[in-house]
Structure 1
Amino acid sequence: MSMSLTFQQRMQELYQSFIKFDALQHERIQRYRNIEPDSALFLAMQIRIQQSKSILEIGTSTGYSTLWLANAAQTTQGQVTTIEIDPSRTAQAQQYAQELALDEMIDFWVGDAQNFLEKCTDQYDFILLDAERDAYIGYWTYLQNMIQLQGGVLIVDNVISHAAEVKSFIELVKNDGRFITMTLSIGAGLFMICYK
């Protein structure tokens, strides 16, 4: 199934339901905080353009972005590994993945991303970082070695909407001479990192 109308329609419905849920939550941590639709579409296009095979997502939440990544991975014969600390959100994401027949493309990993990163020896063509922002500097120690040298990219969400929270992380990366970076004003702001 390529990006059919039914996939896009279903994603629109899911997004609306997630937005409604978030509006009722008083605590930020209770919200699903899914990626913006424009950002999700950009990521899905980027996977197709790069022909990414190995895809890592840090922060599944309810799987809105995961489904977009997996839908793109279908066209590249790729595989998505997605990490989420909350088992109930992972279960929700798995349910949507089954419904859209994308569950074969996704490896759901439940636990603390830090633990996954510490043990990971793989490199990825495409990495999406959309998790708790205060952990990014700690994650970077590992992530920098996980970006595929040839054409791999790490994309960080919410860098415009939460600029202050990611400022030190962005400075750290920008000051590393091995990388080229760019901030795109798509959705809540995407920060792209790749090797020179």
Structure 2
Amino acid sequence: MDPTVQKIIDELTRAGERHDADQPDRLRRWRVLEPDAGRFVRLLAHTTGARRIVEIGTSRGVSTLWLAEAARTLGGTVLSLDTDPAAQDDARRSAAEAGLDDRVEFRVQDGGEALAALADGEVDLLFLDAERTEYTAWWPHPVRVLRPGGVLVADNALSHPDEIAPFHDLLLQDPSLLVTTIAVGKGELVALRR
């Protein structure tokens, strides 16, 4: 990991923890990706050779930095989507500071709309960290856009199991997928498209 990128991730993680501790409104929290979960998604990107990464739920860009650092090494790019323009601006600044802005396209757009517009098999790694209750409404696009060998990762699988359960069930019913939950961070629901 590039030391500059790691330093920025560490600073954002600490700032996010301080911010969220004083924020009673869940939707106003930064909810940054935990370091072990960040290392995990970075590992998945490298393992799959991901060159086309899509992230839905930018927040302040911590997960974006983990993914973009992998994309730089692999010669790929990240499309980072969020409906909050201010969060996207913060993430854009962090990516520029980390020297990763050439690897990330930031877009203020609904995740479901963006997935519907992507081509079949276009995505190597799809990282979902948005409102979990919306994922089922996006079906079948989260799987349709994955290439064979591509991976879908949904954050908060263990911290919010009731919210992610309907989506988890859809994944389990799809015979083209291998599905498991990994106990890192707040839990990562992982699906590999065969």
TM-score of the aligned structures, taking structure 2 as reference length: 0.96
Listed as ranges, the matches of 1:1-20 within 5 Å are 3-20=1-18
In 2, Cα distance between equivalents of 1:105 and 1:12:
20
Moved over 3 A (4+): none
1:127 matched to 2:126? The reply is: yes
2:152 to 135, 150, 154: 154
- Alignment partner of 2:126: what SS? strand
Alignment-derived partner of residue 83 in structure 1: 81
- Alignment partner of 1:188: what SS? coil
**Whose strand fraction is larger, Structure 1's or Structure 2's?**
2
> Is the contact made by 2:32 and 2:63 (CA closer than 8 Å) also made in structure 1?
yes
In 2, Cα distance between equivalents of 1:103 and 1:74:
10
Q: 1:73 to 1:24 in 2, by over 3 A?
A: same
Alignment-derived partner of residue 137 in structure 1: 136
Say which is worse superposed, 136-145 or 155-164, in terms of deviation: 136-145
1:23 is displaced (CA, Å) by: 1.0
1:139 is displaced (CA, Å) by: 1.7
- Alignment partner of 2:180: what SS? strand
Amino acid at match of 1:138: A
Alignment-derived partner of residue 103 in structure 2: 105
1:186 matched to 2:184? The reply is: yes
Amino acid at match of 2:95: A
Amino acid at match of 1:59: G
Structure 2 unpaired stretches of 5+: none
Measured against aligned partners, the alpha-carbon deviations of 1:7-58 in whole angstroms (never above 9, x if no partner) come to: 2222111100011111111110000111111001111122122221100001
In 2, Cα distance between equivalents of 1:49 and 1:111:
28
In 1, Cα distance between equivalents of 2:119 and 2:15:
37
In 1, Cα distance between equivalents of 2:129 and 2:139:
13
**How much is the aligned-residue C-alpha RMSD, in angstroms?**
1.1
Amino acid at match of 1:92: D
Say which is worse superposed, 97-106 or 3-12, in terms of deviation: 3-12
1:48 to 25, 46, 51: 46
Structure 1 unpaired stretches of 5+: none
Amino acid at match of 1:145: R
TM-score of the aligned structures, taking structure 1 as reference length: 0.95
In 1, Cα distance between equivalents of 2:117 and 2:110:
12
Identity of aligned residues (%): 35
